[in-house]
Amino acid sequence: MADLNLQLSRAVKTSAVYDLVTCLPLALPGVAGVYLMVLDTLNGAVGLGGQVGDLSPLAMMFINFLGSLLSIWAVLRLINPSWANGLTDVAVRTFFSIAMLNAIMNGVPGLIGVLWVCELGLLLVQAYYVHRVWRVEHAATVQPAVSVRPVQAAPIFQNHAPAE
């Protein structure tokens, strides 16, 4: 079980580092515009199609808000790579993946498709380990029906905060 928790912890931390690398520049008002221009240039250089275009101050404000929230969420997961934080990140990545797929279908820069593949990969790896830890923990708490011992309550996953 300890090895499984360590693998979950590594998956949660890896996704957190990815989020910091990709989102921290978006949190900084002066840096976000430059970062988006660099991504747009890179997108054009590899011929992936689409472009960022001009962003209003309101749109940039929401980009900064999102970058800030994702960066703080990443730091939290680095500090506490728990089962609960892994599960929550799976849910967040599911919503983000749906939004990214919608954007891809509506003409955003092709580089978003590359980020979407990374997003899906991180989602699936974390979901795999979150599920495995849950199954092992759940199996340890459920007794066979023929047992004379009482069945224990559902798992509360206290052993998974933090996962290491």
Q: Would the pLDDT of 159 be above 80?
A: no
8-22, 40-54, 113-127, 149-163, range with the lowest pLDDT: 149-163
Within-domain flag for 154 = no
Half-sphere CA count of 107, side-chain side, radius 13 A: 3
pLDDT in tens, 43-98: 888 888 777 778 899 999 999 999 999 999 999 999 999 999 999 999 999 999 99
Q: Average the pLDDT over 94-105 and give the result.
A: 94
Within-domain flag for 153 = no
pLDDT of residue 35: 93
Within-domain flag for 163 = no
- Cβ contact 26:64 at 8 Å: yes
Within-domain flag for 122 = yes
Distance CA 98, CA 16 (A): 19
Domain that holds residue 101: 2-141
Give the pair of three-digit tokens for residue 45: 């250089």
Assign 164 a pLDDT band (cuts: 50, 70, 90): low
pLDDT of residue 154: 47
pLDDT of residue 56: 93
Q: How many domains does the chain have?
A: 1
- Residues in the chain, total: 164
Give the pair of three-digit tokens for residue 19: 């989020």
CB atoms within 10 A of CB 107: 11
pLDDT of residue 148: 57
Within-domain flag for 42 = yes
Within-domain flag for 87 = yes
Which of 13-17, 40-44, 159-163 has maximum average pLDDT? 13-17
Within-domain flag for 10 = yes
What is the pLDDT of the chain when averaged over all its residues? Answer: 87
Within-domain flag for 158 = no
